[in-house]
Amino acid sequence: MTTAAQASRRARQARPSRSRRRAGLPADAALLLIGACFVLPLLWLVLASLDAGAGHQTRVPGEVSLENFVAVMTPGLLFHPLWNSMVLSAGTAAVNLAAAVLAAYPLSRYQSRFNRPFLYAVLFGTCLPVTAIMVPVYGLFVQLELLDSMPATIFFMATTTLPMAIWMTKNFMDAVPVSLEEAAWVDGASGLTALRTIVLPLMRQGLGVVFIFVFIQAWGNFFVPFVLLLSEARQPAAVSIFSFFGQHGAVAYGQLAAFSILYSVPVLALYVIVARGAGSSFALTGAMKG
């Protein structure tokens, strides 16, 4: 949508403001109530992490202490799993982005009978429930002796998010005007050279969005590494936090909450970056709508 259209729409929306203000109060109240329901479960997480004697209950800690954070901040418990998460997520995002950019370029730049069927097949791929595929993937990995391998897990996770990434990357690439490349083609540059020197620098921001989206999904993924990575030394934080919960969870809720918060902070920060950059346009549904 053009900005002019947006501006004129905003101007028109501003007019019925009096009736809006009158309708506003009940809407405010209803929204705040809903918001409170959404915050409550998270409130426990924050309060318990600061409470040395936390249980299931939500309560204001008698004495705010960082004991829980100190207790979990050990190499074995926190830093090593976080590092594994980092390797897994960054690897996944890198593999994913490379494949997505390469695939999106011909799809965006050349018309061919191959494009539409391929894009729809890819879209269909996004729809398969990944959890349903995990049992067969485990079976396949056993046969190929790929179980407990970081690279294999990275390639699998990159594939599960690849369909979404191809759609998003193609949409971002479509927004880069083709006239600049045409000049390069005339000068004899090949398609891939034009991609590297002209298109990619122009769509830096879009690439960042795709990278972060894939990274966030990989970072939060529990089920895939839970099934495919067996040895403790390779498990990411999502899985190690689950084992921690199984072993100490019943006694150390505060530590569990502290662990959860430290593990969540990177994704929350990345999400804020994307949301700021993307503004009101919702990149994900934009990708889904094609």
Partner 1 sequence: MPVLPLQRPRSTPRIPARLRRKARLLPVLPAILLLLVFLAGPVLWAFHASFTNAALTGRNARSPGWVGLDNYQRLVTDPVLPLSLALTVLFVGGSAILGQNLLGLTIAVLMKQARKPVAAVVGTAVVAAWVLPEIVAAFAAYAYFSRDGTLNQLLGWLGLGQPDWLYSFPMVAIMLANVWRGTAFSMLVYRAALDDIPADVTEAALMDGAGGWQRLAFITLPMIRSSIATNLMLITLQTLAVFTLVWVMTAGGPSNSSTTLPVLAYVEAFKFGDIGYGTAVASVLILIGAIFGAAYVRLLRQGKP
- Candidate list 100, 164, 199, 287; residue touching partner 1; CB under 8 A: 100
Taken in order 248, 250, 251, 256, is the CA torsion positive or negative? positive
Q: Is residue 79 close enough to count as binding partner 1 by CB under 8 A?
A: no
Q: Report how many residues bind partner 1 under the rule CB under 8 A.
A: 110
Q: Tell me which stretch binds partner 1 (CB under 8 A): 60-68, 69-77, 202-210, 281-289.
A: 281-289
Q: Is residue 163 close enough to count as binding partner 1 by CB under 8 A?
A: yes
Q: Is residue 207 close enough to count as binding partner 1 by CB under 8 A?
A: no
**Percent helix, strand and coil across the chain, each to the nearest 5:** 80, 0, 20
Q: Is residue 57 close enough to count as binding partner 1 by CB under 8 A?
A: yes
Q: Tell me which stretch binds partner 1 (CB under 8 A): 60-68, 76-84, 204-212, 266-274.
A: 266-274
Closest CB 205 distance from partner 1, rounded Å: 19
How many beta carbons lie within 10 A of that of residue 107, not counting itself? 22
Burial class of residue 88 (count of CB atoms within 10 Å of its CB; 0-12, 13-18, 19+): buried
Distance between CA 140 and CA 213 in Å, rounded? 27
Question: Do 51 and 59 contact (CB within 8 A), yes or no?
Answer: yes
Q: Tell me which stretch binds partner 1 (CB under 8 A): 13-21, 60-68, 75-83, 204-212.
A: 13-21
Amino acid identity of residue 89, one-letter, is S
Longest dimension (CA), the chain: 73
* Cβ neighbours of residue 203 closer than 8 Å, sequence gap 6 or more: 172, 173, 175, 176
Owner of token pair 């490349």: 181
x-or-dash string of contact with partner 1, 170-189, rule CB under 8 A: --------x--xx--x----
Q: Which is nearer to partner 1, 73 or 102 (CB)?
A: 102
- Of residues 209 through 248, those in contact with partner 1 by CB under 8 A are 216, 219-223, 227, 238, 241-242, 245
- Of residues 118 through 157, those in contact with partner 1 by CB under 8 A are 118, 120, 122-140, 142, 155-156
